[in-house]
Amino acid sequence: MKCTVCREPAVIDMRRHNSNFCATHFTKFVRDQTVKAIDEFEMMTPGDKVLVAVSGGKDSLAVWDILLDLGYDASGLYIGLGIGDYSDNSKNYARDYANSRGVELIEIDIVEEYGYDIPDGSRAARRAPCSACGLSKRHLFDQAAIDGGFDVLVTGHNLDDEAAVLFGNVLHWQTEYLGRQHPVLPARQGFPRKVKPLVRLGEREMAAYCILSGIDYIVDECPMAVGNKHIGYKNALNEIEKNSPGAKADFYLGFLRKAAEKFTGESAEAREALGECSQCGAPSPSEVCAFCRLVEKATRQPVEISRKKVAP
Ligand code: Q46
Ligand code: ZN
Ligand code: ZN
């Protein structure tokens, strides 16, 4: 197998692009695809102050690495979710990467700062762990970006993630969510601009990028993800992709080109109804925002007591 560009031995085949690449040209391909997404969707410009939401996994470390290499002024934000060893390990990967590049990593620990962790807090609040976790992360990312004066918040969502979310939203015709499923959400009062520069790249490509670039990342999946619907959707799409290379990209990027705008009205209507949370000032459709309500429910029991009940 030879590199399509330079004819040297290739290290990866890209069936969807009918190409094979050596390490140098694969890294260039990943960078070019990221730049293409940034330009096509007008995500950001080189003068922007960028905050990257970093989990310690391959996607978020890779997007941070690519943006730094492209010359962006990009800090990282890590949120400690209190998910046992998984959180401890993932934090170390985020810190190690930040140290290796000599860049700023902002850390927020929800146990120390808000008095709950995701396993116990979600139980106390009677929410699924990923729902409590997603809500907490979204709120804290937004707040950190606004408080820190960042122009844009970057997440490492890749093509596989976005195609799986789209698949779930279409299966259940969640039209309001379809209206928001764009790789750029513009800034508005209380919300930073949010962008997903990896939407043209899949999971396998991001893992390969990290390995070839010498980036150590947490390989283990979050233990709370077991059995979650999102993983089922990803597996279903991977089955389709096996027989039709490019199907995933057509599905998601085709949606953005041909259908997404048909749903934007619904989410705009929902957004107009937002006021301000009386406790934290975040945009909220109700008097107290969902995050403040979650914290209140999640901390009803002292954290120390509830933690002892967590299964290992
Ligand atoms: S970290 Fe949180 Fe994910 Fe773990 S609890 Fe679910 S949402 S799976 S990206
Ligand atoms: Zn090459
Ligand atoms: Zn609030």
Closest protein CA for atom 6 of ligand 1: 130
β-bridge pairing 275-276 and 19-21: unpaired
Answer whether residue 9 is part of any domain. no
User: Cβ(129) to ligand 1 under 6 A?
Assistant: yes
Answer whether residue 280 is part of any domain. no
Answer whether residue 241 is part of any domain. yes
Residues bordering ligand 2, an ion, CB closer than 5 Å: 3, 5-6, 22, 25
- Ligand number nearest CA of 10 is 2
> Mind listing the pLDDT tens digit for each residue in 169-178?
999 999 989 9
User: Cβ(187) to ligand 1 under 6 A?
Assistant: no
Claim: this prediction has a pTM higher than 0.85? yes
Answer whether residue 235 is part of any domain. yes
Answer whether residue 212 is part of any domain. yes
**pLDDT cut 70: percent of the chain above it:** 94
Q: Give residue 266's pLDDT band: very low, low, confident or very high (50, 70, 90).
A: low
pLDDT at 310: 39
Contact 292, 298 (CB under 8 A): no
> Mind listing the pLDDT tens digit for each residue in 205-227?
999 999 999 999 999 989 998 87
Among 125, 130, 154, which Cα is nearest to 142's?
Answer: 154
Answer whether residue 7 is part of any domain. no
Answer whether residue 15 is part of any domain. no
Number of domains into which the chain is organized: 1
Spacing, Cα 11 to ligand 2 middle (Å): 9
Q: Which domain holds residue 205?
A: 33-266
β-bridge pairing 73-80 and 19-21: unpaired
Chain mean pLDDT for the chain: 92
Give the type of residue at 246: G
Spacing, Cα 71 to ligand 1 middle (Å): 30
pLDDT at 272: 65
- Ligand number nearest CA of 19 is 2
Answer whether residue 160 is part of any domain. yes
Is the pLDDT confidence value at 75 over 50? yes
pLDDT at 264: 84
Spacing, Cα 1 to ligand 2 middle (Å): 11
Closest protein CA for atom 5 of ligand 1: 130
Spacing, Cα 132 to ligand 2 middle (Å): 45
**What's 256's domain CATH number?**
3.40.50.620
